[in-house]
Every structure is written in structure tokens, then in C-alpha cells.
Amino acid sequence: MSPVIELHDVSFRYDGPMILEDVSLTVEQGEFLGVVGPNGGGKTTLLKLILGLLDPVEGNIRVMGRAPSEARRAVGYVPQFATFRRDFPISVEETVLLGRLGLAPMFGGYSKADREAARCAMAESEGLEFRNRSLSTLSGGELQRVLIARALATDPKLLLLDEPTANIDLRVEKDIFDLLKQINARATIVVVSHDIGFISRYVQRVACLNRTLICHTTSEITGEVIADLYGRPVRIVRHAAQAPGGGGP
């Protein structure tokens, strides 16, 4: 099977210096990949390139064998929590249905199939019980479930998540990653996170990104590797939450 994501010698800049330089990455079908790195290291930019929202200044990107813009309908995206406005007067169900835009006809409103897809996505993400509530009434964890449900409503083959558990407590973080592990049975997942010690319980590989990119298996992630990535001494903190499959910390 062809890789889901292929980046070859990709570089990108906005107006100043390079944000990404000579980045090469292959993500296979069914993989669960974590992306870590310091603020400003290019993590969000990398996701936007994969989505086709940005074009590289150098290099080539293929998503499911096609140009990113051509593959976009098969990709679900969960943006950064901090960039999502919560005061817009829209319900949970209406938000999830937005994931069907581009799949539904331009005229005539949402179909029965669209509403069923949204209902299934809310049920899987445990958001069905508050489907009629306004976004402004939700907790941080509830909102993240809604954003994941919106992405799942597209029935994606690839799911991209940008800091999905930022500003959320550890218990909710574990619940969300348990959900992602379940989704990974049918979709390839790439998740950006700062919590290296936590995501290493779930992902198969970690892409360390700070303008350039190096991939490691989770067993290779050490304090020295992270210190090189962040440019200062760090230590990995092992969370006390139970790992998937019932293992201890």
C-alpha cells in the first residue's frame, strides 16, 4: 500500500527566514504519529502544508498519492484549541455538521445521510448528549470532543490534530487519546503535542520538529534527544495515568 503522507525535501517560509527546511517524512497507512517540538518550530505549518492550505517553496508533498488540495476531502482536521472562537451562536450539532460541507450538495441543506454521519460522530466522541447545547456552554474537554466529532463527520482516512489536549486536565487528556486510539483502527493519525511523555504511550513514532525534522521510535526518546530538540536541559515526566491495555506507568 502507498504511504498516506509523503514529504520530500520540503522547505517553507512566510516572509522571513525558513520555518521548515529540507523536511522529509513518510507516514504509512494505519500509523499513529506524534509531532513534537518547541513553539515556532513549524508544527502547525507542517499540518497546513499537508492539508494544502500552504504551498512549499521547495520540495514535494503527496497525500494518499495526490496533491494535498486534491486529497483534502479525505482528511479530518482538529485545529488548535486556543484559535477556536467559542462565542459564535451555534449548537454542537450544527458545528459537527460543518464537517459535511464539501460533501453535501451546495443547495437543499443537509441530507439524511449527513445528519446520520454527524450523529454517529457525536456518539463515538461521546458528545451526543449535549448536541443541542451552545458551544459557549461547553467545558474545554467537551469542546475538544465536538471538534473531533466535526472532523470524524467527514469519515476521514487521515486525521490531523493540532494540540488537541492543550489546557485540558490529565484525566480528560487520557480519555481523548483513548478515543484516538480507537479511531486509529480505521484512520491514520498525526497529532501535534507538547506532552511527549504522555503521547509516547499511544503513538508508534515521534517526529521531532524544530525547522528540521528527525523521526524516532518511542523507545528512542530520551532526555538527551529532547534536550537537543528544545535546546535546553529537560527531563521526561512519566504520567501516573494507566497506559492503554492496562499497563502501569
Measured N-to-C along each axis, helices 170-183 and 140-152 cross at an angle, to the nearest 10 degrees, of: 10
Mean pLDDT of 19-43: 94
Collapsing DSSP states into helix, strand and coil, what is residue 179?
Answer: helix
* Whether the predicted pLDDT of 221 surpasses 70: no
Instruction: Say what percent of the chain tops pLDDT 90.
Output: 58
| Residue owning grid cell 525547522 | 211
Q: What is the pLDDT of residues 61-117, one digit of tens each?
A: 999 999 999 998 899 999 886 555 667 788 999 999 999 887 656 566 788 999 999
* Whether the predicted pLDDT of 40 surpasses 50: yes
pLDDT of residue 2: 85
* Whether the predicted pLDDT of 245 surpasses 50: no
pLDDT of residue 162: 94
* Whether the predicted pLDDT of 222 surpasses 90: no
Measured CA to CA, the distance from residue 145 to residue 179 in angstroms comes to: 9
Higher pLDDT, residue 30 or 229: 30
Q: In CATH, which of 3.40.50.10140, 3.30.2310.20, 3.40.50.300, 3.50.30.30 is domain 76-193?
A: 3.40.50.300
Q: How far is CA 20 from CA 40, 169, 209, in A?
A: 10, 31, 9
pLDDT of residue 84: 58
Mean pLDDT of 209-237: 68
CA terminus-to-terminus distance, the chain: 35
Q: What is the pLDDT of residues 117-131, one digit of tens each?
A: 999 999 999 999 999
Q: What is the pLDDT of residues 168-194, one digit of tens each?
A: 888 888 999 999 999 999 999 999 988
pLDDT of residue 232: 53
CA angle (198 as vertex; 230, 184 as ends), nearest 5: 115
249 — pLDDT class (breaks 50, 70, 90): very low
Give the pTM: 0.85
Measured CA to CA, the distance from residue 18 to residue 62 in angstroms comes to: 21
Mean pLDDT of 234-243: 48
pLDDT of residue 226: 64
* Spans of all domains in the chain: 76-193
